[in-house]
């Protein structure tokens, strides 16, 4: 996820790469989407990184950009088959600037924005699934997606987190960012490299998208509807925590102006953060 800031300068024109995939609109597919109980039937899928932006940390063995694109394309197929209108911010190995990704998302109404990433850390033992959101209206979606992805993954649950990453702050539609595990973790990296696991990740994300209204309805009414009730996932509000160097290029709001100050101030390591979270969550 990390990327040298200098790479941000190399911004090829990528405005034309957004592609729209419409579902086959079979009766069954339409019914499936309708059963979600939500008026939002367009999903903007954002595969993290791409092109010269490989993602991850320097020297990382598994390229994050390939894993995110593969999961995104699998998710696209699943959602399209369920009758959703699907928009991809990228559908090939190209670099798309963050503002372009946001612009694509904001050009749709009644839509949701789902960013797919994988995590990385210098410590190989760092592991787990985490899901980010920023706006209040995005929490049900984050909670539902996380419920399924973390529930279906053979790894730790790092929780739902609130943080003001660029693509989450700037989008005007419900937006979430899923970190589908650590590619720097030997076990999670091995999993991520199998098509079956990437397919499972896509299926779990799709299940969260379809089930997001269950969270909202469970909260807004004492009556639990027919669908499966998805509990709110515990989350940690990190919007007031200074971004550390683990910060994701994808969601980072840093600029060259802040780079110097950032370097001077080491902040809490991902590992201490992870252990804190797991203690809280496994109680
Ligand atoms: Zn990433």
- How far is the centre of ligand 1, averaged over its atoms, from the C-alpha of 270 (Å)? 15
Give the rounded distance of the alpha carbon of 68 from its chain centre. 9
Q: pTM for the complete prediction?
A: 0.72
Contacts of 214 (CB under 8 A, 6+ apart): 37, 144, 225, 227, 228, 229, 230
Are 76 and 33 contacting, i.e. CB atoms less than 8 angstroms apart? Answer: no
- 227 pLDDT exceeds 80? no
Q: Is the pLDDT of residue 136 over 50?
A: yes
Distance 136 CA to ligand 1 centre (A): 23
**Residue 77 DSSP class:** H
Q: How confident is the model at residue 219 (pLDDT cuts 50, 70, 90)?
A: low
Of 141, 139, 180, 181, nearest in space to 162 by CA: 139
How many angstroms is it from 226 CA to the middle of ligand 1? Answer: 36
CB 212 within 8 A of CB 131: no
Spatial contact of 147 and 230, defined as CB atoms under 8 Å apart: yes
Residue 100 pLDDT exceeds 70:
yes
Please give the pLDDT value at position 184: 97
Please, what is the Cα angle at 170 between 86 and 162, to 5 degrees? 95
Determine the pLDDT at residue 232: 74
- Distance from the CA of 67 to the center of ligand 1, in angstroms? 10
> Which residues does residue 112 pair with via DSSP β-bridges, in sequence order?
43
Greater confidence (40 vs 101) lies with: 101
Provide mean pLDDT across the span 97-121.
Answer: 97
**What pLDDT is attached to residue 231?**
72
Q: Which residue has the higher pLDDT, 160 or 252?
A: 160
Question: Out of 98-102, 193-197, 238-242, 252-256, which region has the weakest mean confidence (pLDDT)?
Answer: 252-256
- pLDDT exceeds 60 at position 151: yes
CA of 249 to the centre of ligand 1 (A): 7
Rounded distance from Cα 118 to ligand 1 centre (Å): 5
Mean pLDDT, residues 18-34:
41
Ligand 1 centroid from CA 17, angstroms: 19
87, 18 contact by CB (below 8 A): yes
Expressed in angstroms and rounded, the spacing between residue 75 Cα and the centre of ligand 1 is 17
The domains located in the chain, with CATH, are 36-280 (3.40.630.40)
- Secondary structure of residue 112 in the 3-state scheme: strand
Q: How far is CA 12 from CA 41, 96, 197, in A?
A: 31, 8, 32
Section 251-262 average pLDDT = 41
pLDDT at position 245, please? 37
Specify whether the backbone of 256 is left (phi greater than 0), alpha (psi in -120 to 50) or beta: alpha
């Amino acid at each position: 996820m990390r990327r040298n800031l200098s790479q941000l300068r190399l911004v090829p024109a990528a405005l034309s790469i957004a592609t729209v995939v419409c579902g086959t609109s079979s009766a069954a597919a339409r019914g499936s989407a309708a059963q979600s109980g939500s008026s939002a039937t367009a999903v903007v899928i954002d595969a993290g990184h791409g092109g010269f932006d490989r993602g991850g940390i320097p020297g990382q063995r598994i390229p994050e950009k390939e894993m995110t694109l593969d999961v995104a394309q699998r998710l696209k197929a699943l959602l399209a088959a369920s009758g959703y209108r699907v928009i991809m911010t990228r559908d090939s190995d190209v670099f798309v600037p963050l503002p372009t990704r946001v612009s694509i998302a904001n050009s749709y109404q009644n839509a949701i924005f789902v960013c797919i990433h994988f995590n990385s850390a210098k410590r190989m033992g760092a592991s787990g699934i985490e899901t980010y959101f920023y706006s209040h209206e995005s929490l049900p979606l984050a909670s539902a997606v996380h419920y399924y992805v973390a529930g279906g993954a053979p790894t730790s649950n790092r929780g739902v987190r609130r943080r003001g990453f660029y693509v989450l702050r700037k989008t005007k539609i419900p937006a979430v960012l899923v970190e589908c595990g650590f590619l720097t973790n030997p076990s999670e990296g091995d999993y991520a490299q199998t098509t079956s696991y990437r397919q499972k990740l896509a299926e779990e994300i799709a299940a969260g998208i379809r089930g997001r209204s269950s969270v909202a309805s469970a909260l807004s009414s004492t009556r639990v509807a027919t669908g499966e009730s998805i509990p709110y996932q515990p989350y940690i509000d990190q919007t007031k925590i200074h971004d550390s160097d683990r910060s994701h290029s994808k969601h980072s709001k840093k600029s060259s102006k802040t780079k110097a100050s950032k370097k001077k101030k080491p902040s809490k390591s991902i590992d201490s953060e992870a252990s804190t979270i797991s203690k809280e969550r496994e109680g």
